[in-house]
Amino acid sequence: MNRFYIFIIISFLSIHAWSQTETEPDERERDNETEAAAYGTETDSIATAVPELPWPTGAQTEIDRLLEGSMFETSQVGLMVYDLTADSIIYRHNEKQMLRPASTMKVVTAVAALDRLGGSYQFRTSLYYTGKINNNTLTGDIYCVGGFDPLFNSDDMKAFVESIRQMSVDTIRGRIVADKSMKDSDRLGEGWCWDDKNPTLSPLLISRKDMCTERFIEELREAGVTVEAFNTEGKLPDGAFAVCTRFHTIDQILMRMMKDSDNLFAESMFYQIAAACGSRPAKATHARTTIRNVIRKSGLTPSVYKIADGSGLSLYNYVSAELEVALLRYAYKNAEIFNHLYHSMPVAGEDGTLRNRMRGSAADGNVHAKTGTLTGIRSLAGYCTAANGHMLCFAIINQGVMHGNNGKAFQDKVCISLCRP
């Protein structure tokens, strides 16, 4: 009888211990694949301990060993590590290989945007009117002019309504016009899958939805304004009177774009780059031209790479680990770019898409990097500080990894090897 109870107790403790070892997915940008128990078995093949060696020999040796893992029999990786302090390459492996970057494409977009737009840039949505105001009645049109601000929300809309009330207008007779002329009419990016949950590429959004003028009319009426008008689309005419402008800073957009890997915010940034070229409507081709110029500034040849969109959703993007490192290095050398970029990146073990990765290791709180996830692709690009105090930048693009956790585990081990003594 005693043996029976002992068996029951041991069985219970074993089940309890197993349940505590399960981990939650650590990225918000998930695909539909099932990342099954292969994570536990596959990572053993690339997690071989190495003897302690001086920096950077120890890190180089450990990465060599990691690359011997069986996962690379069926997948490929492009990897490069650069010592920014010493201005020298620490490690490279297939660094020129053209690969799909997934959301590390946002690093390319962010560097190009900060280079072209500057750190004080604002994303604006404005309200104008035409016509005359007599006896509290506006006889004319109201224009909502979109600047592709993905953060425009209910509070901003309330400010629009309040600005009309402050003009002592209680009746509107005319049109409520949505001016979406900031960008072209394309609602999908090049190479996007039509059946994905893609962001809405409209320059006039409220809470991510393309229904700004409809909401404006509703809220005007709720505020007691009589609206004898219909909503339509058009372009702001010369001579219109400014009523109100709402804006959000480039840092606010960058934070969501990088830490949360928000594709809408990245595409908004992409079209701000396009609009800065001076052409209206702004087109993706304009943004690509600017990005190619920044690639040229980084010391590489733009024609080698394929830039399709700003978020990394496209299946047509092709870049290399070398390109991502070159742009990270370019940013590091330009304080106006680096100070905004570095603080927008997820921090290992702390926030964003890295909040549950590398916890309790030398990389925890050290690695600032952008993650990337598409089916078969895992990528990571960013910065870390080595034990000798040197600032490093790195890019790792895993392609053909059917169990994404294996790719992430490999990347984490590379980062840990770079950070620890």
For the stretch 246-278, pLDDT in tens is 999 999 999 999 999 999 999 999 999 999 999
Flag whether pLDDT at 11 surpasses 70: no
**pTM reported for the whole predicted model:** 0.88
Mean of the per-residue pLDDT values for the chain? 90
pLDDT digits (tens, 9 = 90+) for 97-142: 999 999 999 999 999 999 999 999 999 999 999 999 999 999 999 9
Give the pLDDT band (50/70/90) at residue 27. Answer: very low
**Do 42 and 84 fall into the same domain?**
yes
- Chain centroid to Cα 409, Å, comes to 21
pLDDT digits (tens, 9 = 90+) for 61-85: 999 999 999 999 999 999 999 999 9
Position 195 scores a pLDDT of: 86
Look-up of token digits 């980062």: 415
Residue 6 lies in a domain: no
CATH code of 129's domain: 3.50.80.20
Kindly report which listed range (7-21, 116-130, 334-348, 384-398) carries the lowest average pLDDT score.
Answer: 7-21
Among candidates 171, 161, 168, which has minimal Cα distance to 215?
A: 161
**Do 344 and 232 fall into the same domain?**
no
**Do 270 and 409 fall into the same domain?**
yes
Domain boundary among the residues 221, 249, 277 is at: 249
Domain boundary among the residues 249, 277, 311 is at: 249
Give the pLDDT band (50/70/90) at residue 279. Answer: confident
Residue 310 lies in a domain: yes
How many other CB atoms sit within 10 Å of the CB of residue 277?
15
**Do 109 and 127 fall into the same domain?**
no
By the 8 A CB rule, do 126 and 244 touch? yes
**Do 284 and 376 fall into the same domain?**
yes
CATH code of 36's domain: 3.40.710.10
Flag whether pLDDT at 373 surpasses 60: yes
Q: How many domains does the chain have?
A: 2
Which is it for the CA torsion 341, 320, 266, 413, positive or negative? Answer: negative
**Do 401 and 264 fall into the same domain?**
yes
Which domain covers residue 153, as residue numbers?
122-249
**Do 202 and 130 fall into the same domain?**
yes
Give the pLDDT band (50/70/90) at residue 44. Answer: very low
Please give the backbone phi and psi of residue 415, each rounded to the nearest 5 degrees, phi first. Answer: -65, -40
Domain boundary among the residues 249, 279, 305 is at: 249
Enter the tokens of residue 320: 């290399």
